[in-house]
A and B are shown apart, each in its own frame.
Chain A
C-alpha cells in the first residue's frame, strides 16, 4: 500500500474525486498553478485543467460565496481557505448561507460544498497562523465539521466530505501535514512514511462521518481528542504506562456520541483535549454531553486541557500549546483515588 503524508493523502483524495466526477472543482488562493502554499493541490491544475483547479482573488467571502452558488447549481466545489485564521471574512457566507440554505428553502436549494482549511498551532505561527476556530462552526446547525489526525483518515474523510450533500468544513491540522507530533518540539520531526496510518490505499475509499476512531484502548481513563492532540494523548498514555481509551473524534459535528458514552461508562473518567481556547470551546460541549450521559458512572470531575484564553502567542508557543506535561497532570488528576 502506498505510504503518504497528510498533504499527499489530501491531494490524492482531490485527484480521485476530480478524476471520477467532472462536477468537482478545486479553487482558492494560490491553489492553481502553484499548487497551494502547503502543496495540497500540487499538480492538479496541470492534470485536470485550468478550469478544474484555479486561483481566486484574495477574498474569502468571495471564495465561499461562489462555492455556494456553484454547489446550488449542481457542482461539487472544494474551496480552500489558506489558513483557518482567515476564514472570518467568509463567516457570514458559511453561517448564514451555506449552512442555512437547505433549511430556509426547505430543501429547494442545497449547498454540497467542502471548505478545506489548515488549522492549529505548534508551528510558530503566532496569532494569525495557529488558530483552532472549530467551536465557532460546531455551533452552526446545518454545517458539518470534521478534522482528521492522519493521512488515512484525511483521504477517506475528504472523499466523504466531497460526496456529502451538506456543506462540510474540513479542518486540516497543519502540524500533522508531514508527520505525527507528540507535543515535544525538541524531538526530531517524525514522518508519516513510517506510520501505519500513513498507509493510504490508492483509489476511492471513504471514512464515515459521525464515527470516532479508537487510537488506543484501556479501562483506566477516556481521553477525547482530535487533530494534533490525538498524538499528544497517545504519547502521554504510552509514557505513563496506563491503559486508556484514546478516542480520535474525527467528526465533531455530527459527533459519535455512542463511542464516547460507551467508553466513559467503562472507565468512569474523562479527559478532554483541544488546542483551541478554553472558554466556550468544543471541550465545553463534550464535557456537558459526558456529564449528561455518564453522570452516575463518573468517578472524578471531567478534566479539560486546552489552549489558554488568550490569542495564540509567538514566543510563548510551548507554554501555550497544551503539551504532554499538562496532559499528564490532568490524567493524573482524574486517576487520583482510582
Chain B
C-alpha cells in the first residue's frame, strides 16, 4: 500500500498557529475506505440479511413507522433464486422476463458504447453496470407519465420506457439524429416524452427541481408524481437538504432515491456519509418515510418503489429510498478505478450482480435457462451493434457530426434577442 490510512505523520508537525493551544485527542479525522489497490478486499463484515427483511407497513403509515426501515435492508430475491418475505412482489413471470431483457439491453448498450468511446467515436461515456436493477426496477413500478429526475447513471429508465436506443446513441454521438442538436455532452439525455428530465452536469440540482415538479402536480390536483435521483456522493450537496426539507414541508408527492454505489469517482461512501448510519436514515430527521433496499435485487427495488409511489399518490408525501448497490466499473470513460480501489472489489461484493440474481430466480421458477439466456445476450448484442451502425451513419464527433454549427445559437431563448442575432451574423462572416 502506497500510503497509510489515517497516518499520524502529517499531524505531528503541529502548525505554528496552534502552538499556544493544548492538544486535542480527536486530531483531524479523515475517513478512509477499508481497502485500497493491492489489498485483498473482504466484505464478510457486511451482513446480507436474508430472513430479517423489515415488515411491509401500509404505504400511508406514519413516517415514523419506517424509521427502522432506514437501517435494515429490504430484500426479496434470495441467492438460491427464491422470491420471499413480506415485500414479495406480484409481478407476473412475463413482466419479470421483460425486466431481465431490459436490464440486459441496458448493459449491452453500455458495453458497446464504452468500446466505441475507446475507439474514438465519441468523447465520453458512463456505464451503469451493476446498477441496472435500480433504474429498471424503479421505472417498471412507476407510471410512464411520472416524471423522473435522473442522474447520468439511470439510462435503464429510458430503456425500460421504450426510448429509441438509436436516438440515445445519436445523443452520445452528437450527430444529426441527436434530439439535442449536439448541445450536451454524451449521456446527458433529455426525453420529456418518456418522463425523463433533462440531465444537468451540475450534481444534485435536479433533486429540488423534482420536488418542485411534484409540488406542481399536487397544486394541479393530479395523481402524477416525481422521482428524483442522486448518487450517495452528491447527497453532500446542499440541494439534497433542500429537497428533503421542501418535500417534507409541502408533502410533495415524490420519491427521493439515493443510489449508494459505494463510490463517488475515487471517494468512498464514507466521505459523504460522515457518521450517519445510512443514507436512508437522512430522511428520518426530516420526517420523511424511509426505505433501504438491496439495489441488486430488482424485485425489492420494484416493491419499494411501488410502496413509495402509492404513498405519494395517496397524499402521504415523499419517501427516501436508499438503493444499496455497487459501482461495478469505472466512474466514466475518463476514470481508472485501479488507482484508488482494490481490483476485484466488485467481484467479492456480497450482493452479487443484479442480472445474475434475476436470472437465477427465473431459472428457479423453471421459466428460464442458461441457453435462452446466452441466446438473448447474443441477440441483444447484435441488436445494439446494428443500432449503433445506423446511429453512426448519421455522423459523429470523430468525423463529421453532420450538424450545422449555427444550431448553437438556437434555444438560448424562446425568440432570438438582437445581440444573438448580431453574433450569429458575426459568426457567419468570420467562419462562414
Residues of A within 8 A of B (CB): 25, 51, 56-57, 59, 61-62, 65-75, 77, 89, 92-93, 96-97, 100-110, 141-142, 144, 164-166, 210, 253-255, 257-258
State the interface size on chain B (CB cutoff 8 A).
45
A283 to chain B, nearest CB (A): 17
Please state if A108 and B213 are interface contacts (CB–CB under 8 Å): no
In the complex, residue of chain A having the shortest beta-carbon distance to the beta carbon of B246: A62
Contact of B216 among A75, A93, A254 (CB under 8 A): A75
**Docked pose: A107 CA to B179 CA in angstroms:** 10
**Docked pose: A236 CA to B422 CA in angstroms:** 35
Please state if A65 and B205 are interface contacts (CB–CB under 8 Å): yes
Of B183, B216, B249, which is in contact with the most chain A CB atoms at under 10 Å from its CB? B216
Residues of B within 8 A of A (CB): 147, 179-181, 183-184, 188, 190-192, 197-198, 200-202, 205, 207-217, 219-220, 226, 238-239, 242-243, 245-246, 249, 410-414, 417-419
In the complex, residue of chain B having the shortest beta-carbon distance to the beta carbon of A143: B413
Given A51-B219, A62-B208, A66-B215, A141 and B412 touching (CB < 8 A)? yes
- If A65-B209, A75-B216, A104-B180 are given as contacts, then 4 extra A-B residue pairs at C-beta distance below 8 Å, sorted by A number, are A56-B246, A70-B212, A71-B212, A102-B414
Given A73-B212, A166-B414, A109 and B219 touching (CB < 8 A)? no
Which residues of chain A have C-beta atoms less than 8 A from B184's C-beta? 104
A57 to chain B, nearest CB (A): 6
Which residues of chain A have C-beta atoms less than 8 A from B239's C-beta? 61, 65
Which residues of chain B have C-beta atoms less than 8 A from A72's C-beta? 197, 209, 213
Please state if B198 and A104 are interface contacts (CB–CB under 8 Å): yes
Please state if B216 and A69 are interface contacts (CB–CB under 8 Å): yes
Which residues of chain B have C-beta atoms less than 8 A from A110's C-beta? 414
**Docked pose: A103 CA to B238 CA in angstroms:** 24
- Sample (5) of A-B pairs whose CB atoms are under 8 Å apart: A57-B246, A59-B242, A62-B208, A104-B188, A253-B417
A16 to chain B, nearest CB (A): 20
Please state if B179 and A69 are interface contacts (CB–CB under 8 Å): no
Please state if B413 and A166 are interface contacts (CB–CB under 8 Å): yes
Given A109-B190, A210-B418, A142 and B208 touching (CB < 8 A)? no
Given A89-B238, A106-B179, A106-B183, A97 and B216 touching (CB < 8 A)? no
A-B pairs with lowest CB-CB distance, top 8: A69-B212, A65-B208, A66-B212, A62-B242, A254-B417, A105-B198, A105-B190, A69-B209
Given A65-B242, A102-B412, A254-B418, A92 and B202 touching (CB < 8 A)? yes
**Docked pose: A92 CA to B212 CA in angstroms:** 16
Which residues of chain B have C-beta atoms less than 8 A from A258's C-beta? 418
**Docked pose: A308 CA to B231 CA in angstroms:** 44
Contact of B212 among A67, A96, A105 (CB under 8 A): A67
Which residues of chain A have C-beta atoms less than 8 A from B242's C-beta? 59, 61-62, 65
Of A69, A108, A255, A257, which is in contact with the most chain B CB atoms at under 10 Å from its CB? A69
Please state if A97 and B209 are interface contacts (CB–CB under 8 Å): yes
B128 to chain A, nearest CB (A): 21
**Docked pose: A65 CA to B411 CA in angstroms:** 21
A54 to chain B, nearest CB (A): 8
Which residues of chain B have C-beta atoms less than 8 A from A25's C-beta? 219
Given A74-B216, A75-B216, A254-B418, A102 and B210 touching (CB < 8 A)? no
Please state if B208 and A69 are interface contacts (CB–CB under 8 Å): yes
